[in-house]
Amino acid sequence: MNSDRRKDKSNRNFMVQGTILAAASIVVRLIGMVYRIPLTNIVGDEGMGLYSCAFEVYNIALLLSSYSLPLAVSKLVAARIAKGQKRNAERVFKCAMLFGLCAGAIIGLIVFFGSSFIASRIMKSPMSVYALRVLAPCLFVVAVMGVVRGFFQGQGTMIPTAISQIIEQIVNAVISVVAAYYLFRAGTAAAQASAGSTENANLLGPAYGAAGGTLGTICGAAAGLIFLLFVLALYRKSIKRQVKRDKTATTESYSRIFKLLFMTIVPVVLSSALYNICGILDQAIFNHMMSTRGVPYEEYNRLIGMYSGKFLLLVNVPLAMSNALASSSIPSLTASVAMKEKKAVIYHKIHTAIRFSMLVAIPSFVGFLTLASPILQLLWHDKRAQMATILMVGAVCVVFYSLSTITNAILQGLNHMRDPLKNACISLVIHIALLFIMLNLNLGIYAVVIANVLFSLVMCILNQRDIHKVIGYRQEKNVTFIKPFIAAAIMGAIARLVYFFLRFIMGNSIATIICLFVAVFVYAAALILFKGLTEEDILSFPKGEKIAGFFRKIRLLR
């Protein structure tokens, strides 16, 4: 009886912690979207193309240096905490910190001193070098921050990570916009002074502006790290007391922990690198092929700016839910495996993570599909049919990327680290082959969008197959997919109809905002009516009782 109660408490904690991190991640993405609007208006599509190019290189460097550290640390710490091995958990933290300091410093120096070669030769975007140099020191800061976040996540609390993410993004948003504004003006003045004597002088303003935008990234990361170190200092006495009370018979050697850390990090780095390398490959291949065909640098840089600065920014907001649930799932599943819990408990955690990820991804896809142009006009005053088409064509990748992200995390939590790597390799080969074919068919930027949709779809299929092979689990379809799709379809139809009538009376901005609120309410109501969301589900959210109380008042819940 006590065992069942503990497991039930563990399941509730997994969901609550996942929801806390998901809520923080969505807030972070919303802040990111909000500050990107003035940033895009300041530096233009050209500046966002340079900004994006620098970030794609930075993201790969981040993968190699520290991206996997929170996951690896949380896995190893969670496994030891589940067995009461507090001393060994602390030793994992010390080893990981040393690894993070070294990796962050080395990769940061390589990016800083190799920025000119990377920007000019590899990315075919020489003016992105300024932004790339500003980002390089951030790799060291993020490596240290990743270790601390992983330690707290392994302890079963997502709150320090959640708060640090919000602090990081607020500082990032403010400094990015201010620095971009002043540096854009400085770059424009430098371009006028050079009077065309410098190659690509007309892009100096956007290039300096993009560098200003990246300055916020390192300042935000530093602010987030300071907060985490402050919390860690407060928590330090408690850790020492736990270590003193630890009666574990064997203390793991640092050499063994380094080996385990390395064996955990390498497959995650490789699979994550392959999973995320699409962005840098897409830009490099697209830029090279456009350049070979004689398309002006300003033109193809502008197209990449539209794709990354608007399309990717929008689809990444709902993906925050999946990323947060993935971060929560890995230590939770690792602890379940370490404690040899029953399959029913593990199945419940897998089902919950996938299902709640789809509850956000599916309506987001339908929303982008039905309200693409109104949303773009609201955020960027962008009335271009090309931009709306890009968003509509690529909207479905929200569902596929959400599902592939969460299934990646499930396989890693089940200690099958190589499966996501293998699946990412297969998906990447198919992705690149299709991208080359479609670019040769003159599909332009749409080739990049469609190839990414296919990549995420193949990852979903392969990951689901491997989860079934590993543990015999199959996701049920009715509550996870069918009911949310029906509710989202009703939502999309009503939202579009409301927008059609309101835009003539109130204009695009107010009509779109009202439509988005209507869409959220209609989707939630339809989901409850079709029993795709139960009272028990709602009560598992933070403040769930208040949310359930609201739906009881309007008679959607009894």
Whether residue 105 is found in the same domain as residue 207: yes
Would you say residue 6 lies in a domain?
no
Query: What is the distance between the alpha carbons of residues 384 and 367, in angstroms, rounded to a whole number?
Result: 18
**Are residues 222 and 120 part of one domain?**
yes
| Measured distance between the N- and C-terminal CA atoms of the chain, rounded to whole angstroms | 30
Same-domain pairing of 456 and 493: no
Task: Report d(CA 62, CA 95) in Å as an integer.
Answer: 19
Q: Looking at residue 55, what is its pLDDT?
A: 81
Within this chain, do residues 88 and 78 fall inside the same structural domain, yes or no? yes
What is the pLDDT at residue 14?
53
- One digit per residue, the tens of pLDDT, for the chain of length 558 reads 444 444 445 555 555 666 666 667 777 777 877 888 888 888 887 888 888 888 878 877 776 666 667 777 887 888 888 778 888 888 888 888 888 888 889 988 999 998 888 888 877 778 888 889 999 999 899 889 988 988 888 887 778 888 898 999 999 999 999 999 999 988 888 887 776 555 566 778 888 888 888 999 999 999 999 999 999 888 888 878 877 877 776 778 888 888 888 777 777 677 666 666 777 788 788 888 888 888 887 788 788 888 877 888 888 888 876 666 665 665 666 666 666 667 777 787 788 888 888 988 999 999 999 999 999 998 888 888 899 999 999 999 999 998 988 888 888 778 787 788 888 889 989 999 999 999 888 888 899 999 989 999 999 999 999 999 988 888 888 988 999 999 999 999 999 999 998 988 888 889 999 999 999 999 988 988 888 877 777 766 656 677 777 777 777 776
Helix 278-292 and helix 445-471, axial crossing angle in degrees, nearest 10: 150
Q: What is residue 129's predicted lDDT score, i.e. its pLDDT? A: 87
Model pTM score = 0.70
Q: Are residues 339 and 423 in the same domain?
A: yes
Judge whether 253 lies within some domain. no
The pLDDT, as a whole number, for residue 462 is: 94
| The token pair that represents 336 in the structure block | 């379940």
Give the count of domains, the chain.
Answer: 2
Kindly state whether residue 221 falls inside one of the protein's structural domains: yes
Q: Which residue has the tokens 């199959």?
A: 474
Asked if residue 258 belongs to a domain, the reply is no
Give the residue among 22, 5, 30, 538 at the shortest CA–CA distance from 329. Answer: 22
> Among 484, 481, 476, which Cα is nearest to 526's?
484
Is 387 in the same domain as 461?
A: yes
Same domain for 535 and 408, yes or no, is: no
CB neighbours of 450 closer than 8 A, spacing ≥ 6?
393, 394, 434, 438, 443
Question: Residue 344 is encoded by which pair of tokens?
Answer: 């029913």
Q: 294: which DSSP letter?
A: T
Residue 254 lies in a domain: no
How high is the pLDDT of residue 193?
76
In a domain, 426, yes or no: yes
Instruction: List C-alpha distances in Å: 181 to 209, 215, 358, 369.
Output: 7, 12, 38, 33
Domain boundary pick from 419, 445, 475: 475
Distance separating alpha carbons of residues 389 and 394, to the nearest angstrom: 8
Domain that holds residue 229: 14-240+266-475
Are both 528 and 462 inside the same structural domain? no
- Same domain as 205, residue 310: yes
The closest alpha carbon to 278, from 69, 453, 66, belongs to 453
**416 shares a domain with 509:** no
- The verdict on residue 257 lying in a domain is no
Same domain, 271 and 340: yes
Choosing from 423, 445, 475, the residue where a domain stops is 475
The dihedral of CA 375, 378, 381, 383: what is its sign?
Answer: positive
Q: Is residue 245 part of a domain?
A: no
Binning the chain into helix, strand and coil, the percentages to the nearest 5 are 85, 0, 15
The answer to whether the beta carbons of residues 427 and 462 sit under 8 Å apart is yes
Note whether 287 and 306 are same-domain residues: yes
Residue at which a domain ends, from 443, 475, 507: 475
Secondary element (H or E) of residue 396: none
